[in-house]
Amino acid sequence: MTMRGILRVLGVLAITIKVRGQTPEFIGELLLQPQINNQKCLTAQANSDGSPVVLQTCTGSPNQKWVFRDGNVVVFGNKCLDVKKGLNQDGTKLQVWTCIANNANQQWYYSKWDNTLGWTGTGKCVDVDGGNQADGTLIQIWGCYNRLPNQIWSAGYLINALPIKSQGGQFGTNNCGTGTDQAANCQTSWINSATDFCLWAPPHPGAIGDTEREAVAWCTKSGRGSRTIPNGTLQGVHFVRTPEYVQITGVGDFTKLNIPSGDGGGELDNRGADGKGNPIGGLLYGSTFGLNLQYHEWTEFISDNEFCIRACIGPRSKELCNHIYDVMGCYWNIPANYGGGVFEECAGDAAIPMGVYGTSTWFQGVAPTPTAHPAPASSSCTTIPTIGVSPLRRRAAEPVDRGGLPEPLERRYPFPRFPDATPAPLPMGS
pLDDT exceeds cutoff 70 at 79: yes
Annotate 43-82 with DSSP letters as a single string: EESSSSTTEEEEEEE----GGG-BEEETTEEEETTTEEEE
CA 313 to chain centre: 8
Residue 145 has pLDDT above 60, yes or no: yes
The string of pLDDT tens digits covering residues 277-335 is 999 999 999 999 999 999 999 999 999 999 999 999 999 999 999 999 999 999 999 99
pTM for the model stands at: 0.87
More confident residue, 354 or 410: 354
* Domain regions of the chain by residue span: 27-156, 162-409
Pairing of strands 283-286, 293-295: antiparallel
Averaged confidence pLDDT in the chain: 90
**Taking 90 as the threshold, does the pLDDT of residue 19 lie above it?**
no
In this prediction, residues 69-93 reach a mean pLDDT of: 98
| pLDDT band, residue 394 (cuts 50/70/90) | low
pLDDT score of 21 more than 50: no
Q: Is the pLDDT score of 420 beyond 60? A: no
CB atoms within 10 A of CB 1: 12
d(C-alpha 426, C-alpha 414), whole Å: 31
Percentage with pLDDT > 90 across the chain: 85
- Let me know: does 43 contact 157? Beta carbons within 8 Å: no
pLDDT in tens, 167-221: 999 999 999 999 999 999 999 999 999 999 999 999 999 999 999 999 999 999 9
- pLDDT of res. 276: 95
- Please state, for a pLDDT cut of 70, what percent of the chain lies above it: 87
pLDDT of residue 22: 80
**How does pLDDT run across 152-165, given as a tens digit for each residue?**
999 999 999 999 99
Q: In the predicted model, is pLDDT for residue 411 greater than 80?
A: no
Cα 258 to chain centroid, rounded: 25
Residue range 235-282, pLDDT digits in tens: 999 999 999 999 999 999 999 999 999 999 999 999 999 999 999 999
Contacting residues for 261 by C-beta, under 8 A, at least 6 apart = 255, 304
What pLDDT sits at residue 395? 55
CATH number of 27-156: 2.80.10.50
Q: Which pLDDT belongs to residue 393?
A: 80
